[in-house]
Amino acid sequence: MDQVQDQIEANRANWDERVADHVAAYGAVEFADHPTANRVQFEAELMAPHLPGGSVAGLDLVHLQCHIGIDSISFARLGAHVVGVDFSGEAINAAKELAGRAGADATFVKGTNEEAPDLLGRQFDVVFTSVGVLAWLPDLRGWARAVDRLLKPGGLFFIYEAHPMVMTLQYDRTDDDLVVTEPYFGTNEPQRNEHGISYASADSATQRTTYEWPHSLDEIMTSLLDVGLTIESFHEHTHMPWKPIPSLVETDKGFALPSGRERMPLMFSLAARKQGDRHAPALPLPG
């Protein structure tokens, strides 16, 4: 295997090991057992103007990098027919168990983003991805090609993700200052982390080493434009669903800067459309 593939395999081993902690930390079993629980209401509201009838109900939706499937199950509870894809076998096993427990219209397949079009062999009305996913990808060009291949003509791609500027901040400060210490633009080498600690647990993983790749807004948008998608909306948000820096405070909308909340966006959302009539027959997948 080449160096990048070795790095991806190290990440996969780390994510496999995180699953049990995340099932507990996310309250996943309680979520599955509560038939009206839903974790994607905000994302669904952002997507609504781009969807027929303002809802995912009745649509085929694929969730890339779905992890343990809580968001996938949430979309199924809104009426979508959902397929979740993730490269972690342990995460997929947990997602299948949770979906079965919830009685959700959601199935799960192990694979990378790039493998998904061939593994699934069909196209979808919506491709969705969210929260903490892009930093684990070395190449956004391959990611964007997979998104395009998975979309039906006229289909919608939607992402809700940490703003790239948040990922540049020094994360171990004890004051409210926002200090940039990490790269914003892509680099030749990934950021190597050795702490082995998940945000969901104080325990250190056996597979301690992980690799993350910074991606600017320029790179994210250009990768989608280069495969022919049309960006329909882009928004920046002042709240986020987790706490990547200690100075954030919890509010009823999520975590936010404690003061001067206009100082920096914490999340972004983007909707992009594949060219073509969504009522036309789906294009055959390449290969």
User: What is the 3-class SS of 101-148, one letter each residue?
Assistant: HHCCCEEEEECCCCCHHHHHCCCEEEEEEECCCHHHCCCHHHHHHHHH
- The domain in which residue 45 lies consists of 3-273
CATH number at residue 56: 3.40.50.150
What confidence tier does 12 reach under pLDDT thresholds 50, 70, 90? very high
- Stated pTM of the model: 0.92
Q: Does 283 reside within a domain?
A: no
User: Does 285 or 187 have the greater pLDDT score?
Assistant: 187
User: Does 260 or 246 have the greater pLDDT score?
Assistant: 246
Q: Does 287 reside within a domain?
A: no
Q: Does 258 reside within a domain?
A: yes
The C-alpha atoms of residue 245 and residue 263 are separated, in whole angstroms, by: 15
Q: Does 162 reside within a domain?
A: yes
Q: Does 286 reside within a domain?
A: no
Q: Does 65 reside within a domain?
A: yes
Q: Does 261 reside within a domain?
A: yes
Max Cα-Cα span within the chain: 56
Q: Does 60 reside within a domain?
A: yes
Total number of domains in the chain: 1
What are the beta bridge partners of residue 100?
Answer: none
| pLDDT tens per residue, range 73-121 | 999 999 999 999 999 999 999 999 999 999 999 999 999 999 999 999 9
Given this model, what pLDDT does residue 208 score? 79
Q: Which of 36, 78, 42 is closest to 158 using CA atoms?
A: 42
